[in-house]
Amino acid sequence: MAEFGLTPSLRKFLERFPEPLQVIATELRAQVLDLAPDVIEQIDESAQLLGYGYAETYTHLVCVIIFQQDYINLGFPRGVDLEDPEALLEGTGKRARHVKIYSVEDVTLPGVLSLLREAIEITPRPGDED
């Protein structure tokens, strides 16, 4: 897997969370950037999340890493459209779903990586909607 440097603003953001969550989030981030190196990373401090998409809009958002008390939610705005044979996705929203990630080992589970790959594939790029 490729290494992805942490910017000073990302380091500062991560420092506010317990170290185990920092490790999980950093590994999730690396997976996303490895699978989709052209995504834009966004830090939303008020929502305590990192967003990854092809533009700074919800329409182009692939996934989000949301910090909880003792786990990470890997959120998918188009979660209802993802194939989920391992039944990892949770949520009751109209479109969005998430997977709870409790350990760094969870990040590389085949079902999690499959969801990430599919989310990357189905997320529109700017100009695709025209």
Which residues are CB-contacts of 120 (< 8 A; sequence separation ≥ 6)? 35, 36, 39, 62
pLDDT at 127: 83
pLDDT score of 64 more than 80: yes
Quick check: pTM over 0.75? yes
Determine contact, residues 29/5, Cβ cutoff 8 Å: no
pLDDT (mean) for 41-69: 96
Identity of the residue numbered 105: E
pLDDT at 5: 84
9-122 adopts what CATH topology? Answer: Aspartate Aminotransferase, domain 1 (3.90.1150)
